[in-house]
Structure 1
């Protein structure tokens, strides 16, 4: 029998179709471009680190305006803030590294993130004043272990689906912690604003002597500058909260749609989250 008889044109078409069909069914990095873009936008959202630093440095801004009695209390608060600052930043670092790892799994590039594991720290400490609870500590430990396992293995046998499935619960708890901490930052900033601007509100109306005219003018200019500063910062708190909430919701949607990540509707939904996060990042950077 002549084997060449079996290689008819229709058979070539059938083989090609099967090969292409197999590729489509398994999916590839290109088909997860929207996931990669969402993860990149989440990792680069910004705002939280800056606001954490501002929270830490509250006393430096308040100190010139404080009475001796108020200064003693403020210094105690300053010590407490600086003690928890590294923990607050560690939460963000773990989530950024998670998103970078998710982006890598969803893309074609392969690069080493192992050096960033060393920057995660040794764990968190519960803090009743900040709202960090034992479940936040457990989630942080769980996520860092997942990242260590995935990155140290060279991403072998790991996909976007398994990464999201294994990480979602811890990601949600840590994003909740960041949202709560951002609200704490905003509350602290509001108290600072009342302390500083309140001095001017009380003192300026009583400074009516002609000899105080230049001093009052300078005080009014300073008051105006500080008021503008606080308005801009208030906007950043709001944008940061919007961004963190959107990241949490988008990751939840990823978890719910693991079975159809490559479907058109799912890809459109994920792409929309990515666009929203990029817009928020641009607004925070203004």
Structure 2
């Protein structure tokens, strides 16, 4: 009878241990997904011409060149969004495996593009294209698995390489978005400088005042969005480091030492998310 009770106790301990959520890993997946899901910078990149077209003479060489660049941006936009969705979906699945099997997905995994394109207009080359395909394959494979520690370990091990490549690619895109915003700001500043020279300040003081106020509003807008590019890169770097730490500690995810160390990553990512949300 005592032996039976001991065996039952061991079985219960094993079951409880196997089903105990990896809270910090689950939190990391959830918070990382929220950061990566933000597509505002990509949308600003796509709509660049709609803001800067007033700096060009309609039909001029500069205007035609800007329209050509606009077409290129629209051509790669879907791939840029797909890149973010693939990573966000991966982290959602990671959160599911690390915790509650009933995790509520915000992205439609089945709707993920099966591939992105390696084209001259894109800053994503073949290495990113291949990594995207591999990460999507792994994500769609693991979504059907139950929340078990061994599944979490295997997913982290199999997905780290393509994920790191895509995170590097995303940081490259953030630099592209930053460059586009800086270019817009420079063109708009130049446009106002030229317009100010045409205003008769002795007769149109109110017009000059309104123009200067409008220019300052533009500058504040770009200052905020450029700050967002900086803070987004910082958050992505922290996510990269966090996932690398998961891989390095993949066999000790339940230990108190790991939880204490990794809690700092999660606190930093959550703080970064709040900073990004505060930028309007």
Shared fold per TM-score greater than 0.5: yes
Q: Shift in Å at residue 219 of structure 1?
A: 0.8
CA contact (8 A) 1:35 1:271 kept: no
2:114, 2:7 → 1: CA distance? 54
Q: Which residue of 2 aligns with 1:160?
A: 152
Q: Shift in Å at residue 201 of structure 1?
A: 3.0
Relative contact order: is structure 1 or structure 2 higher (C-alpha 8 Å, sep ≥ 6)? 1
Q: Shift in Å at residue 21 of structure 1?
A: 5.5
Which of 109, 113, 124 matches 1:132? 124
1:114, 1:49 → 2: CA distance? 14
Secondary structure of 2:122's partner? coil
Q: Does 1:105 align with 2:100?
A: no
Q: Which residue of 2 aligns with 1:277?
A: 269
Which deviations, in whole Å up to 9, do the C-alpha atoms of 1:52-105 show, x marking residues without a partner?
A: 000000000001222232211111110000010000000111111111100000
Q: Which residue of 2 aligns with 1:56?
A: 46
Alignment size in residue pairs: 275
Q: Which residue of 2 aligns with 1:120?
A: 112
2:20, 2:97 → 1: CA distance? 8
1:229, 1:115 → 2: CA distance? 29
Map 1:100-249 onto structure 2 (within 5 A): 100-110=92-102, 116-151=108-143, 153-155=144-146, 159-204=151-196, 207-249=199-241
CA contact (8 A) 2:37 2:84 kept: no
Which of 56, 62, 73 matches 1:66? 56
Which deviations, in whole Å up to 9, do the C-alpha atoms of 1:124-150 show, x marking residues without a partner?
A: 111334321101110111111112222
Which of 26, 31, 39 matches 1:41? 31
Secondary structure of 1:211's partner? coil
CA contact (8 A) 1:56 1:82 kept: yes
2:95, 2:201 → 1: CA distance? 64
CA contact (8 A) 2:114 2:133 kept: no
Q: Shift in Å at residue 18 of structure 1?
A: 4.0
Secondary structure of 2:35's partner? coil
Secondary structure of 1:258's partner? coil
When residues 27 and 268 of structure 1 are mapped into structure 2, their CA distance, relative to the original with a 3 A threshold, is farther
When residues 108 and 279 of structure 1 are mapped into structure 2, their CA distance, relative to the original with a 3 A threshold, is same
Which deviations, in whole Å up to 9, do the C-alpha atoms of 1:124-180 show, x marking residues without a partner?
A: 1113343211011101111111122223x4549861101101111111111111110
2:265, 2:272 → 1: CA distance? 11
TM-score when scaled to structure 2? 0.89
When residues 136 and 254 of structure 1 are mapped into structure 2, their CA distance, relative to the original with a 3 A threshold, is same
Q: Does 1:266 align with 2:258?
A: yes
1:46, 1:156 → 2: CA distance? 23
Gaps of 5+ in 2: none
2:31, 2:147 → 1: CA distance? 25
> Greater Rg, structure 1 or structure 2?
1
Q: How large is the RMSD of aligned CA atoms in angstroms?
A: 2.5
TM-score when scaled to structure 1? 0.87
